[in-house]
Amino acid sequence: LVTTVIFTRNQTHQKTTEIKIGNNVVHATVANTPLKQAKGLMFVENMPRNEGMLFVFERESPHIFWMKNTLISLDIIWINSEKRIIDIQTANPCVKDPCQQYAPKEDSLYVLEVNANWAKTHGVKTGDYVEMDSFAE
């Protein structure tokens, strides 16, 4: 598995990583700071297939998500510290407040966001093992 650092137009670095679930590979931008996590995929108008965002948290917790200012529907995939998928939910953009909140059934350490219905299309389900780099930093 490969983790790289890319530079955006304003020369801020964004770490990306390769995530493997079964035979499926997702190239994900890593959101590992509170600022990156708060922004998430807000204002993104489209996302290429097999790309996403991986949220890396400091500890396992019931990380709750919402879709404020998110323009595309997403699959939210919660992953525990053992790198097992513990929940998958499809979330739609929030068109007016209050926005729906999406909470997992169990605590997670990672959350992967991909295009809506990606999990179903690729046969990804709860209990599946996720191969990815360790992000202890």
pLDDT at residue 13 in the model: 53
Q: Any idea which of 1-5, 68-72, 113-117, 119-123 has the lowest mean pLDDT?
A: 1-5
State pLDDT tens for residues 25-53: 999 999 999 999 999 999 999 999 999 99
pLDDT at residue 15 in the model: 83
What's the whole-model pTM score?
Answer: 0.88
pLDDT at residue 8 in the model: 40
Once rounded to an integer, what is the mean pLDDT over residues 5-9? 37
State pLDDT tens for residues 37-94: 999 999 999 999 999 999 999 999 999 999 999 999 999 999 999 999 999 999 999 9
Q: Any idea which of 16-20, 110-114, 130-134 has the lowest mean pLDDT?
A: 130-134
pLDDT band at 6 (very low <50, low <70, confident <90, very high): very low
Dig out the tokens for 24 from the structure.
Answer: 């499926």
The 3-state secondary structure of the chain, one letter per residue: CCEEEEECCCCCEEEEEEEEECCEEEEEEEECCHHHHHHCCCCCCCCCCCEEEEEEEEEEECCCEECCCCCCCEEEEEECCCCEEEEEEEECCCCCCCCCEECCCCCEEEEEEEECCHHHHCCCCCCCEEECCCCCC
pLDDT at residue 60 in the model: 96
